[in-house]
Amino acid sequence: MVEWRMPGVVVSARRFGEGDLVVHALTEELGLHAGLVHGGGAKRNRVDFEIGNRLDFSWAGRLNEHLGRYRADLIDAPSASIMHDADRLAGLASLCALIDTALPEHEPAPGLCAAFNLWLDQINEPHWAPLLVRIELGLLEVLGFGLDLSSCAVTGETDNLTHVSPRTGRAVSATAAEPYLDRLLPLPAFLLGGTRAEDTDVLAGLKLAGHFLERRVFNVHNWTMPPQRTLLAQRLQRRIDEAAD
């Protein structure tokens, strides 16, 4: 029998049978881990397993590769503070769906876990959306497909980086990018340490991360991007369009 206890964040909870749940939690030491919660689907218990909730999980199973059983006590529910904020809820749903789909089970990802917990702590702050884009890029790095935004792929210069090659994932300076603007992806300044990020910058960041997530992760496995991720980008585009009218 294998047993462990540690905190984790719920990234998905799906019904199993009459009243049980299969819960996927992101933990610091074990990465993404699944467990069966008996009675978790009951009305009185279901609220504890909303996505984004942090719980103290106890898991037991014959082998670590088995589904096993979860017992859990609620630590806190960051999503409770954004129940009337559709944009932030869309961001939470998108991040959880990406992690739940793309991250292999049982592979530790302490940096990603720490970043996700930081995002949950700051979910009510104005910079929640730029931080979300950074976490998406962090997920790419964990999966072995991190972008190289340190210097220009053509000239080697480290200043005035404005675009990214959609093929290599390397940054390109404004001068080198000029003849190929229609082929390159914009690189928003906030990803290079800039302090400001407008909605248009965040959308550019989502398109940048989304391109490589789709090309290097989802397409390889014949997966489609989670609809929650598509909805988030659509909501942001709608907000930009409405502001322009």
Residues of the chain with pLDDT > 70: what percent?
100
Residues of the chain with pLDDT > 90: what percent?
89
What distances in angstroms separate CA 59 from CA 53, 55, 56, 70, 100, one per listed residue?
17, 12, 10, 5, 18
Contact 57, 8 (CB under 8 A): yes
Contact 88, 66 (CB under 8 A): no
Mean pLDDT across 213-230: 96
Q: According to the model, what pLDDT value does residue 196 have?
A: 81
Q: According to the model, what pLDDT value does residue 17 have?
A: 85
Question: For the ranges 54-68, 106-120, 231-245, which has the lowest average pLDDT?
Answer: 54-68
- Does 180 score more than 80 pLDDT? yes
Mean pLDDT across 46-53: 95
52 Ramachandran zone, left/alpha/beta (phi>0; psi -120 to 50)? left
Which tokens is 163 given?
């675009």
Superfamily, domain 2-76: Nucleic acid-binding proteins (2.40.50.140)
> Domain ranges in the chain?
2-76, 82-149+187-244
Q: Taking Cα atoms as reference points, which of 105, 196, 107, 193 lies closest to residue 150?
A: 193
43 Cβ partners below 8 Å, 6+ apart?
Answer: none
Q: Which band of pLDDT confidence, cut at 50, 70 and 90, is reported for residue 1?
A: confident
Q: Which residues of 20-52 are buried (b: 16+ CB within 10 A; e: fewer)?
A: bbbbbbbbbebbbbbbbbeebbeeeebebbbbb
**pLDDT for 90-105, tens place per residue?**
999 999 999 999 999 9
Q: According to the model, what pLDDT value does residue 130 have?
A: 97
> Which residue is it, tokens 């009951």?
42
Q: How many other C-beta atoms lie within 10 A of the C-beta of residue 147?
A: 20
- Compute the mean pLDDT over every residue in the chain, rounded to the nearest whole number: 95
Q: Which band of pLDDT confidence, cut at 50, 70 and 90, is reported for residue 195?
A: low
- Does 67 score more than 90 pLDDT? no
| Rg of the chain on CA atoms, in Å | 19
- Does 194 score more than 80 pLDDT? no
Q: According to the model, what pLDDT value does residue 62 have?
A: 85
